């Protein structure tokens, strides 16, 4: 009996599926466009086609050679009933994804929220590997997050938990789409850094960052300020400094609440490595509640990044073993 599983990362623009071996490595990967808006039956068929394509290309039988298929999807996922209860991006409510996919594929299927699945992937074989208590945050358009407690994904009694991006760090601050003001992701996501960079550049038309983006403000991203800081620009250095203070402020609160063994940071800016981690650790060392203790949370960057969703989804069955 082979030990293969398939992990599916269902995203708003693409669906990726990977064949994962017992060392948690992706051996083969396929994908297609999500093409929203589409009825849920069509999305199910697209997922099934990818799984069947993997099996065909790799000469495997889905009912015999694949232990299970795991799917990470946006939305609130009730892992007991296998129902996506609410998915704003796709416009589906009470979507019985697990049951429908089991019928189509003829094998065991597990489903989980996509951010939770990605966090689980980093716990299984990435930056948080082996830490029974881990928090994974992804600095992207918002702040994605997943919490592992005692080796299992924590999502609260109603499966809507672990939304660390909506921790308020500035009372009456910037309005957030969740309805609150001053949420962490409005200050510490990659998008927030890019927006703050654009605003600063507009106030400083002579600044060197304009050269980095060929005079085109639309080319500004989270890397722009880091690149200019590395080139010695004081305005960019200030922008990055303020951004990292916001990142660290939220991280310190998260550590104070959970005291994870490892806190893992993913997303494009995690490629900055020590330029990102150094200032964050310095801030946390000054403010964390347990800073004088012997056992401290390790802050690291994510290892799997874009593959975390597939590896985590492919490993979901392990939570039930
Ligand atoms: Zn919010």
SS (H, E, C) 150-169: CCEEECCCCCCCCCHHHCEC
Residue 153 lies in a domain: yes
Residue 9 lies in a domain: yes
pLDDT of residue 1: 53
Of the chain, the end-to-end C-alpha distance in Å amounts to: 17
The mean of the pLDDT values for the chain is 96
220 by DSSP, 3-state: which? coil
Per-residue pLDDT of 61-82, as tens digits, reads 999 999 999 999 999 999 999 9
Residue 144 lies in a domain: yes
Number of domains within the chain: 2
Q: Which domain holds residue 26?
A: 4-124
139 by DSSP, 3-state: which? strand
| C-alpha 181 to ligand 1 mean position (Å) | 7
Flag whether pLDDT at 57 surpasses 70: yes
Same domain, 56 and 153: no
Alpha-carbon dihedral of residues 114, 118, 120, 126, nearest 10 degrees?
A: 170
Cα gap 145→153, rounded to integer Å: 11
pLDDT of residue 2: 62
Residue 308 lies in a domain: no
40 CB neighbour count, 10 Å cutoff: 16
| C-alpha 51 to ligand 1 mean position (Å) | 35
Same domain, 243 and 120: no
Same domain, 24 and 137: no
Q: To which residue do tokens 């004081």 refer?
A: 234
| C-alpha 172 to ligand 1 mean position (Å) | 12
| C-alpha 142 to ligand 1 mean position (Å) | 9
Same domain, 157 and 297: yes
Same domain, 80 and 154: no
CB 116 within 8 A of CB 162: yes
- Give the end of a domain, one of 124, 146, 180: 124
285 φ/ψ sector (left φ>0, alpha ψ -120 to 50, else beta): alpha
| C-alpha 305 to ligand 1 mean position (Å) | 23
214 by DSSP, 3-state: which? coil
Q: What CATH number is associated with residue 296? A: 3.30.420.40
C-beta contacts of 169-176 below 8 A and 24+ residues apart: 169/246, 169/249, 169/250, 169/253
pLDDT grade, residue 20 (50/70/90)? very high
| C-alpha 267 to ligand 1 mean position (Å) | 19
Same domain, 77 and 158: no
Give the percent of the chain with pLDDT over 90.
95
Cα gap 215→225, rounded to integer Å: 14
| C-alpha 186 to ligand 1 mean position (Å) | 8
Same domain, 108 and 49: yes
| C-alpha 180 to ligand 1 mean position (Å) | 5
Cα gap 78→86, rounded to integer Å: 10
The count of residues in the chain is 321
| C-alpha 179 to ligand 1 mean position (Å) | 6
Q: To which residue do tokens 């019928």 refer?
A: 103
Q: To which residue do tokens 């080319």 refer?
A: 219
pLDDT of residue 229: 98
Same domain, 78 and 188: no
Comparing CA positions, the residue from 70, 46, 66 lying closest to residue 124 is 70
| C-alpha 164 to ligand 1 mean position (Å) | 9
| C-alpha 101 to ligand 1 mean position (Å) | 32
| C-alpha 185 to ligand 1 mean position (Å) | 7
* Span 93-107, average pLDDT: 97
Cα gap 96→85, rounded to integer Å: 8
Residue 315 lies in a domain: no
Residue 75 lies in a domain: yes
The partner residues of 5 in beta bridges, in order of sequence, read 20
Same domain, 163 and 297: yes
What would the two tokens of residue 166 be?
């909506």
| C-alpha 141 to ligand 1 mean position (Å) | 12
pLDDT of residue 319: 87
Per-residue pLDDT of 124-170, as tens digits, reads 999 999 999 999 999 999 999 999 999 999 999 999 999 999 999 99
* Span 223-244, average pLDDT: 98
């Amino acid at each position: 009996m082979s030990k293969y599983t398939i992990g599916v990362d269902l995203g708003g623009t693409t669906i990726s599926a990977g064949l994962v071996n017992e060392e948690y490595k992706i051996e083969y990967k396929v994908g297609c466009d999500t093409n929203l808006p589409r009825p849920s039956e069509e999305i199910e068929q697209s997922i099934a086609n990818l799984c069947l394509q993997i099996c065909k290309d790799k000469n495997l039988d889905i009912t015999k050679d694949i232990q299970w298929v795991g799917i990470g999807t946006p939305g609130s996922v009730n892992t007991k009933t296998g129902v996506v209860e609410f998915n704003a991006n796709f416009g589906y409510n009470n979507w019985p994804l697990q049951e429908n996919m089991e019928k189509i594929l003829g094998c065991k299927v597990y489903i989980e929220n996509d951010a939770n699945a990605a966090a689980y992937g980093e716990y299984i074989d990435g930056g948080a590997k082996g830490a029974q208590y881990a928090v994974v945050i992804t600095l992207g358009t918002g702040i994605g997050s997943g919490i592992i407690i005692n080796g299992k994904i924590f999502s609260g009694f109603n499966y809507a938990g672990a939304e660390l991006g909506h921790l308020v760090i500035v009372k009456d601050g910037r309005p957030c789409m969740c309805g609150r003001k001053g949420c962490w992701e409005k200050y510490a996501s990659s998008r927030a850094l890019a927006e703050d960079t654009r605003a600063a550049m507009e106030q400083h038309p002579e600044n060197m960052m304009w050269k980095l983006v060929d005079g085109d403000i639309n080319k500004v991203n989270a890397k722009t300020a880091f690149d200019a800081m590395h080139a010695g620009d004081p305005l960019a250095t200030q922008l990055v400094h303020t951004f990292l203070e916001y990142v660290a402020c939220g991280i310190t609160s998260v550590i104070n609440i959970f005291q994870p063994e490892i806190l893992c940071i993913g997303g494009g800016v995690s490629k900055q490595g020590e330029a990102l981690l150094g200032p964050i650790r310095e801030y946390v060392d000054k403010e964390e509640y347990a800073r004088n203790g012997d056992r401290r949370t390790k802050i690291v960057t994510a290892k799997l990044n874009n593959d975390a969703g597939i590896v985590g989804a492919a490993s979901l069955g392990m939570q039930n073993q």
